[in-house]
Amino acid sequence: AEEARSTPDNGQAAIRSSPGPRPISGADAAAGADAWTEYALRAEARAAGRPIEEPPRLLRTLTAPPRACGAPVMVREVVDAVLAAKRTGTYVDASFGRGAYSEELLQRLPSNSRLVVFADERVDPAAAEAARALQRADSRVWAVVSAPLAALRATLAGQELAGVLADLGVAFQQGDDAFRGLSSIDDVPLDLRADPSCGISAAEWLRTVTVEELAWVVHAYGEDDDPLVSLRIAEAVVDWQRRHGPYRTVYQLVEVIRKAKTMQEERGLHPAKLTLQALRVFVNGELEQLEEFLKGSTALLAPGARLALVSTRRAEAALVKRFLREHENSHAMFEATSSLQRLVELYPLLKASASFA
Protein backbone atom coordinates (compact mmCIF):
# COMPACT_ATOMS: atom_id res chain seq x y z
CA ALA A 1 0.00 0.00 0.00
CA GLU A 2 1.15 3.50 -0.79
CA GLU A 3 0.37 6.40 1.54
CA ALA A 4 -0.11 9.86 0.02
CA ARG A 5 1.74 11.66 2.83
CA SER A 6 4.88 9.55 2.82
CA THR A 7 6.93 7.57 0.39
CA PRO A 8 7.67 4.10 1.74
CA ASP A 9 9.47 1.95 -0.76
CA ASN A 10 7.00 -0.91 -0.59
CA GLY A 11 4.40 -0.09 -3.23
CA GLN A 12 5.45 -2.89 -5.56
CA ALA A 13 4.91 -6.56 -4.93
CA ALA A 14 7.82 -8.77 -5.93
CA ILE A 15 7.31 -11.46 -8.58
CA ARG A 16 8.75 -14.71 -7.37
CA SER A 17 10.79 -16.77 -9.73
CA SER A 18 9.55 -20.25 -10.42
CA PRO A 19 11.34 -22.95 -8.40
CA GLY A 20 14.32 -24.55 -10.09
CA PRO A 21 14.79 -28.30 -10.50
CA ARG A 22 15.03 -30.16 -7.22
CA PRO A 23 18.09 -32.33 -6.47
CA ILE A 24 17.85 -36.05 -7.02
CA SER A 25 16.87 -38.26 -4.13
CA GLY A 26 19.63 -39.37 -1.83
CA ALA A 27 21.06 -38.70 1.60
CA ASP A 28 23.77 -36.35 0.31
CA ALA A 29 21.35 -34.23 -1.71
CA ALA A 30 18.85 -34.14 1.10
CA ALA A 31 21.55 -32.94 3.46
CA GLY A 32 22.32 -30.01 1.15
CA ALA A 33 25.30 -31.07 -0.91
CA ASP A 34 27.11 -28.35 -2.78
CA ALA A 35 26.78 -27.75 -6.51
CA TRP A 36 29.71 -30.00 -7.46
CA THR A 37 28.42 -32.90 -5.38
CA GLU A 38 24.98 -32.50 -6.91
CA TYR A 39 26.52 -32.47 -10.40
CA ALA A 40 28.50 -35.63 -9.61
CA LEU A 41 25.41 -37.37 -8.30
CA ARG A 42 23.49 -36.49 -11.42
CA ALA A 43 26.30 -37.72 -13.65
CA GLU A 44 26.56 -40.99 -11.72
CA ALA A 45 22.80 -41.53 -11.89
CA ARG A 46 22.76 -40.77 -15.60
CA ALA A 47 25.64 -43.18 -16.28
CA ALA A 48 23.92 -45.93 -14.29
CA GLY A 49 20.63 -45.32 -16.11
CA ARG A 50 18.82 -44.38 -12.92
CA PRO A 51 16.01 -41.82 -13.25
CA ILE A 52 16.68 -38.33 -11.93
CA GLU A 53 13.74 -36.93 -10.02
CA GLU A 54 13.00 -33.48 -11.40
CA PRO A 55 9.40 -32.37 -10.92
CA PRO A 56 8.06 -30.04 -13.62
CA ARG A 57 8.68 -26.33 -13.15
CA LEU A 58 5.73 -24.47 -11.76
CA LEU A 59 5.26 -21.63 -14.23
CA ARG A 60 2.79 -18.79 -14.28
CA THR A 61 1.02 -18.91 -17.60
CA LEU A 62 -1.50 -16.77 -19.35
CA THR A 63 -4.23 -19.16 -18.29
CA ALA A 64 -3.14 -19.08 -14.64
CA PRO A 65 -2.89 -15.42 -13.62
CA PRO A 66 -1.39 -14.48 -10.23
CA ARG A 67 -4.84 -13.50 -8.98
CA ALA A 68 -8.31 -13.11 -10.40
CA CYS A 69 -9.48 -9.61 -11.30
CA GLY A 70 -11.86 -9.50 -8.32
CA ALA A 71 -9.42 -10.92 -5.77
CA PRO A 72 -8.34 -8.25 -3.26
CA VAL A 73 -5.06 -8.27 -1.38
CA MET A 74 -3.96 -6.69 1.92
CA VAL A 75 -7.54 -5.70 2.74
CA ARG A 76 -7.01 -5.14 6.45
CA GLU A 77 -3.69 -3.32 5.96
CA VAL A 78 -5.10 -0.99 3.30
CA VAL A 79 -8.14 -0.09 5.39
CA ASP A 80 -5.90 0.42 8.43
CA ALA A 81 -3.83 2.92 6.44
CA VAL A 82 -6.87 4.83 5.20
CA LEU A 83 -8.50 5.02 8.63
CA ALA A 84 -5.28 5.85 10.51
CA ALA A 85 -6.11 9.56 10.46
CA LYS A 86 -9.34 8.79 12.41
CA ARG A 87 -11.40 11.28 10.46
CA THR A 88 -15.13 11.36 9.82
CA GLY A 89 -16.52 12.31 6.43
CA THR A 90 -16.59 10.90 2.91
CA TYR A 91 -14.45 7.90 2.01
CA VAL A 92 -13.91 6.52 -1.50
CA ASP A 93 -13.32 2.97 -2.69
CA ALA A 94 -12.10 3.65 -6.23
CA SER A 95 -11.85 -0.06 -7.14
CA PHE A 96 -14.94 -1.83 -5.81
CA GLY A 97 -14.37 -5.20 -7.50
CA ARG A 98 -16.44 -7.61 -5.41
CA GLY A 99 -16.60 -5.30 -2.42
CA ALA A 100 -13.99 -6.67 -0.02
CA TYR A 101 -12.44 -3.26 0.75
CA SER A 102 -15.83 -1.55 1.01
CA GLU A 103 -17.20 -4.19 3.36
CA GLU A 104 -14.15 -3.89 5.61
CA LEU A 105 -14.49 -0.09 5.60
CA LEU A 106 -18.18 -0.21 6.47
CA GLN A 107 -17.49 -2.48 9.44
CA ARG A 108 -15.23 0.20 10.91
CA LEU A 109 -16.66 3.50 9.67
CA PRO A 110 -18.55 5.63 12.21
CA SER A 111 -22.26 6.17 11.56
CA ASN A 112 -21.71 9.82 10.60
CA SER A 113 -19.35 8.91 7.72
CA ARG A 114 -20.28 7.80 4.23
CA LEU A 115 -18.77 5.78 1.42
CA VAL A 116 -18.59 6.38 -2.34
CA VAL A 117 -17.70 3.39 -4.52
CA PHE A 118 -16.54 3.31 -8.14
CA ALA A 119 -17.84 0.34 -10.16
CA ASP A 120 -17.91 0.92 -13.91
CA GLU A 121 -20.84 -1.04 -15.32
CA ARG A 122 -19.41 -1.02 -18.85
CA VAL A 123 -16.22 -2.70 -17.63
CA ASP A 124 -17.61 -5.03 -14.96
CA PRO A 125 -21.41 -5.31 -14.76
CA ALA A 126 -21.19 -7.84 -11.91
CA ALA A 127 -19.20 -5.36 -9.79
CA ALA A 128 -21.73 -2.61 -10.43
CA GLU A 129 -24.61 -4.88 -9.40
CA ALA A 130 -22.75 -5.98 -6.26
CA ALA A 131 -22.14 -2.32 -5.37
CA ARG A 132 -25.81 -1.46 -5.78
CA ALA A 133 -26.74 -4.43 -3.59
CA LEU A 134 -24.36 -3.16 -0.89
CA GLN A 135 -25.92 0.30 -1.19
CA ARG A 136 -29.38 -1.16 -0.60
CA ALA A 137 -28.09 -3.04 2.45
CA ASP A 138 -26.18 -0.14 4.05
CA SER A 139 -27.35 3.46 3.89
CA ARG A 140 -23.80 4.73 4.48
CA VAL A 141 -22.98 3.80 0.86
CA TRP A 142 -23.80 7.27 -0.40
CA ALA A 143 -23.21 6.74 -4.13
CA VAL A 144 -22.26 4.09 -6.68
CA VAL A 145 -20.35 5.73 -9.52
CA SER A 146 -20.26 3.95 -12.89
CA ALA A 147 -17.05 5.51 -14.14
CA PRO A 148 -13.31 4.78 -14.23
CA LEU A 149 -11.20 5.88 -11.28
CA ALA A 150 -9.70 8.68 -13.40
CA ALA A 151 -13.09 10.44 -13.23
CA LEU A 152 -12.87 10.85 -9.45
CA ARG A 153 -12.14 14.59 -9.44
CA ALA A 154 -14.87 15.42 -11.98
CA THR A 155 -17.40 13.21 -10.19
CA LEU A 156 -16.74 14.44 -6.65
CA ALA A 157 -15.81 18.07 -7.39
CA GLY A 158 -16.35 20.24 -4.34
CA GLN A 159 -16.25 17.32 -1.89
CA GLU A 160 -13.61 17.06 0.84
CA LEU A 161 -12.51 13.45 1.20
CA ALA A 162 -11.53 11.81 4.48
CA GLY A 163 -9.79 8.90 2.75
CA VAL A 164 -9.35 7.16 -0.61
CA LEU A 165 -8.25 3.64 -1.48
CA ALA A 166 -7.69 1.80 -4.75
CA ASP A 167 -6.44 -1.63 -5.76
CA LEU A 168 -5.06 -1.05 -9.25
CA GLY A 169 -5.21 -4.73 -10.14
CA VAL A 170 -8.96 -4.62 -9.58
CA ALA A 171 -9.48 -1.15 -11.06
CA PHE A 172 -7.70 -2.01 -14.32
CA GLN A 173 -9.05 -5.56 -14.56
CA GLN A 174 -5.56 -7.11 -14.44
CA GLY A 175 -6.95 -10.57 -13.91
CA ASP A 176 -8.81 -13.27 -15.77
CA ASP A 177 -11.11 -12.13 -18.58
CA ALA A 178 -10.85 -14.54 -21.46
CA PHE A 179 -13.31 -12.81 -23.77
CA ARG A 180 -11.32 -9.58 -23.93
CA GLY A 181 -8.07 -11.51 -24.16
CA LEU A 182 -6.64 -10.07 -20.97
CA SER A 183 -5.16 -13.33 -19.76
CA SER A 184 -6.20 -16.19 -22.01
CA ILE A 185 -4.26 -17.83 -24.82
CA ASP A 186 -7.41 -19.36 -26.25
CA ASP A 187 -8.67 -18.53 -29.72
CA VAL A 188 -10.49 -15.34 -28.68
CA PRO A 189 -10.57 -11.94 -30.43
CA LEU A 190 -7.52 -9.76 -29.89
CA ASP A 191 -9.19 -6.85 -28.10
CA LEU A 192 -7.55 -6.17 -24.69
CA ARG A 193 -9.82 -3.19 -23.93
CA ALA A 194 -11.42 -3.10 -20.49
CA ASP A 195 -14.33 -1.11 -21.95
CA PRO A 196 -15.09 -2.30 -25.52
CA SER A 197 -17.01 0.91 -26.21
CA CYS A 198 -13.93 3.12 -25.77
CA GLY A 199 -10.97 3.53 -28.11
CA ILE A 200 -9.77 0.89 -30.53
CA SER A 201 -8.86 -2.74 -30.00
CA ALA A 202 -5.30 -4.03 -29.92
CA ALA A 203 -5.87 -5.74 -33.28
CA GLU A 204 -6.93 -2.45 -34.89
CA TRP A 205 -3.94 -0.59 -33.46
CA LEU A 206 -1.50 -3.24 -34.66
CA ARG A 207 -2.70 -2.83 -38.25
CA THR A 208 -0.98 0.54 -38.63
CA VAL A 209 1.83 0.31 -36.07
CA THR A 210 5.50 0.60 -37.03
CA VAL A 211 8.28 -1.57 -35.64
CA GLU A 212 9.71 1.37 -33.72
CA GLU A 213 6.37 2.28 -32.12
CA LEU A 214 5.60 -1.28 -31.10
CA ALA A 215 9.11 -1.82 -29.69
CA TRP A 216 8.75 1.30 -27.55
CA VAL A 217 5.36 0.18 -26.17
CA VAL A 218 6.63 -3.33 -25.38
CA HIS A 219 9.72 -1.98 -23.61
CA ALA A 220 8.03 0.91 -21.77
CA TYR A 221 4.89 -0.86 -20.58
CA GLY A 222 5.87 -4.53 -20.59
CA GLU A 223 8.53 -4.28 -17.88
CA ASP A 224 10.95 -6.20 -20.07
CA ASP A 225 14.41 -4.92 -19.19
CA ASP A 226 16.09 -5.75 -22.50
CA PRO A 227 15.27 -3.27 -25.31
CA LEU A 228 16.76 -5.66 -27.88
CA VAL A 229 14.20 -8.29 -26.93
CA SER A 230 11.43 -5.71 -27.34
CA LEU A 231 12.77 -4.82 -30.79
CA ARG A 232 12.98 -8.48 -31.81
CA ILE A 233 9.38 -9.05 -30.71
CA ALA A 234 8.17 -5.96 -32.57
CA GLU A 235 9.93 -7.01 -35.77
CA ALA A 236 8.43 -10.51 -35.57
CA VAL A 237 4.91 -9.20 -34.90
CA VAL A 238 4.97 -6.69 -37.75
CA ASP A 239 6.59 -9.16 -40.15
CA TRP A 240 3.94 -11.84 -39.48
CA GLN A 241 1.18 -9.30 -40.05
CA ARG A 242 2.79 -8.20 -43.31
CA ARG A 243 2.85 -11.78 -44.60
CA HIS A 244 -0.44 -13.14 -43.20
CA GLY A 245 -2.70 -10.13 -42.75
CA PRO A 246 -4.13 -8.49 -39.60
CA TYR A 247 -4.18 -10.37 -36.32
CA ARG A 248 -7.60 -11.69 -35.37
CA THR A 249 -7.04 -13.72 -32.19
CA VAL A 250 -4.91 -13.64 -29.07
CA TYR A 251 -3.51 -17.05 -29.91
CA GLN A 252 -2.04 -15.84 -33.21
CA LEU A 253 -0.16 -13.03 -31.46
CA VAL A 254 0.96 -15.24 -28.58
CA GLU A 255 2.50 -17.80 -30.94
CA VAL A 256 4.47 -15.13 -32.79
CA ILE A 257 5.80 -13.69 -29.53
CA ARG A 258 6.69 -17.11 -28.16
CA LYS A 259 8.76 -17.97 -31.23
CA ALA A 260 10.44 -14.55 -31.19
CA LYS A 261 11.55 -14.87 -27.55
CA THR A 262 12.72 -18.48 -28.06
CA MET A 263 12.95 -19.12 -24.31
CA GLN A 264 10.89 -19.17 -21.11
CA GLU A 265 10.86 -16.09 -18.91
CA GLU A 266 13.23 -16.37 -15.95
CA ARG A 267 10.48 -15.11 -13.65
CA GLY A 268 8.30 -18.08 -14.50
CA LEU A 269 5.98 -16.17 -16.83
CA HIS A 270 4.66 -17.27 -20.17
CA PRO A 271 6.90 -15.71 -22.88
CA ALA A 272 4.00 -13.58 -24.17
CA LYS A 273 2.76 -12.38 -20.78
CA LEU A 274 4.71 -9.12 -20.57
CA THR A 275 4.03 -8.19 -24.19
CA LEU A 276 0.28 -8.66 -23.75
CA GLN A 277 0.52 -6.65 -20.54
CA ALA A 278 2.22 -3.83 -22.45
CA LEU A 279 -0.46 -3.80 -25.14
CA ARG A 280 -3.24 -3.84 -22.54
CA VAL A 281 -1.71 -0.96 -20.55
CA PHE A 282 -1.23 1.07 -23.75
CA VAL A 283 -4.64 0.37 -25.32
CA ASN A 284 -6.47 1.24 -22.08
CA GLY A 285 -4.26 4.22 -21.18
CA GLU A 286 -3.84 2.77 -17.69
CA LEU A 287 -0.86 4.88 -16.61
CA GLU A 288 -2.56 8.05 -17.84
CA GLN A 289 -5.68 7.07 -15.88
CA LEU A 290 -3.59 6.43 -12.79
CA GLU A 291 -1.87 9.81 -13.00
CA GLU A 292 -5.20 11.59 -13.41
CA PHE A 293 -6.57 9.66 -10.44
CA LEU A 294 -3.59 10.67 -8.28
CA LYS A 295 -4.02 14.33 -9.20
CA GLY A 296 -7.75 14.27 -8.57
CA SER A 297 -7.75 12.33 -5.32
CA THR A 298 -4.93 14.28 -3.66
CA ALA A 299 -6.59 17.56 -4.69
CA LEU A 300 -9.78 16.55 -2.86
CA LEU A 301 -8.19 15.03 0.26
CA ALA A 302 -8.79 16.94 3.48
CA PRO A 303 -5.67 17.98 5.44
CA GLY A 304 -4.31 14.91 7.19
CA ALA A 305 -6.47 12.51 5.17
CA ARG A 306 -4.87 9.53 3.47
CA LEU A 307 -4.73 7.81 0.10
CA ALA A 308 -3.79 4.10 0.00
CA LEU A 309 -2.94 2.20 -3.18
CA VAL A 310 -2.20 -1.44 -3.95
CA SER A 311 -0.14 -2.28 -7.02
CA THR A 312 1.75 -5.32 -8.28
CA ARG A 313 3.07 -3.64 -11.43
CA ARG A 314 6.50 -2.04 -11.49
CA ALA A 315 5.48 0.77 -13.84
CA GLU A 316 2.50 1.71 -11.66
CA ALA A 317 4.57 1.72 -8.48
CA ALA A 318 7.23 3.88 -10.16
CA LEU A 319 4.60 6.38 -11.32
CA VAL A 320 3.09 6.62 -7.82
CA LYS A 321 6.48 7.16 -6.17
CA ARG A 322 7.43 9.79 -8.73
CA PHE A 323 4.13 11.59 -8.14
CA LEU A 324 4.71 11.58 -4.39
CA ARG A 325 8.20 13.01 -4.79
CA GLU A 326 6.93 15.77 -7.08
CA HIS A 327 4.06 16.66 -4.75
CA GLU A 328 5.66 16.16 -1.35
CA ASN A 329 5.08 19.76 -0.26
CA SER A 330 2.21 19.59 2.20
CA HIS A 331 -1.04 21.50 2.32
CA ALA A 332 -0.82 24.89 4.04
CA MET A 333 -2.91 23.60 6.94
CA PHE A 334 -1.14 20.27 7.27
CA GLU A 335 1.57 21.49 9.62
CA ALA A 336 -1.01 23.07 11.89
CA THR A 337 -3.23 19.98 12.05
CA SER A 338 -0.55 17.27 12.37
CA SER A 339 1.23 16.15 15.51
CA LEU A 340 4.97 16.67 15.94
CA GLN A 341 5.47 12.89 15.82
CA ARG A 342 3.74 12.69 12.43
CA LEU A 343 5.76 15.60 11.03
CA VAL A 344 9.00 13.97 12.16
CA GLU A 345 7.95 10.72 10.45
CA LEU A 346 7.48 12.59 7.17
CA TYR A 347 10.40 15.00 7.54
CA PRO A 348 13.14 13.32 9.64
CA LEU A 349 15.46 16.34 9.38
CA LEU A 350 13.12 18.26 11.67
CA LYS A 351 14.85 16.51 14.57
CA ALA A 352 18.28 17.66 13.41
CA SER A 353 19.90 20.87 14.58
CA ALA A 354 21.62 21.56 11.24
CA SER A 355 20.95 24.89 9.61
CA PHE A 356 19.49 23.26 6.52
CA ALA A 357 16.99 21.14 8.48
Q: Residue 89, Cβ neighbours under 10 Å: how many?
A: 16
SS3 61: coil
Mean pLDDT (the chain) is 78
- Residue 181: inside a domain, yes or no? no
- Helices and strands (DSSP H and E) totals, the chain: 16, 6
Please name every residue paired with 3 in a beta bridge, in sequence order, or none if there are none. 308
- Residue 129: inside a domain, yes or no? yes
Whether the CB-CB separation of 250 and 185 falls below 8 Å is answered with yes
- Residue 46: inside a domain, yes or no? no
pLDDT of residue 270: 77
* CA separation for the pair 306, 162 (Å, rounded): 7
Range of the domain at 127: 75-173+288-346
| CATH value at residue 140 | 3.40.50.150
CA end-to-end distance (rounded Å), the chain: 28
- Residue 100: inside a domain, yes or no? yes
pLDDT for 209-257, tens place per residue? 999 999 999 999 987 778 899 999 999 999 999 999 999 999 999 999 9
User: Which range (73-77, 92-96, 183-187) has the least confidence?
Assistant: 183-187
SS3 198: coil
* CA separation for the pair 246, 244 (Å, rounded): 7
pLDDT over 70 percentage in the chain: 71
pLDDT for 83-93, tens place per residue? 988 889 999 99
pTM of the model: 0.70
- Residue 275: inside a domain, yes or no? no
| Mean pLDDT value across residues 137-144 | 93
Which has the higher per-residue pLDDT, 178 or 241?
241
- Residue 179: inside a domain, yes or no? no
- Residue 42 clears pLDDT 80, i.e. is over it: no
- Residue 126: inside a domain, yes or no? yes
Overall domain count for the chain? 1
- Residue 198: inside a domain, yes or no? no
Task: Give percent helix, percent strand, percent coil of the chain, each to the nearest 5.
Answer: 45, 10, 45
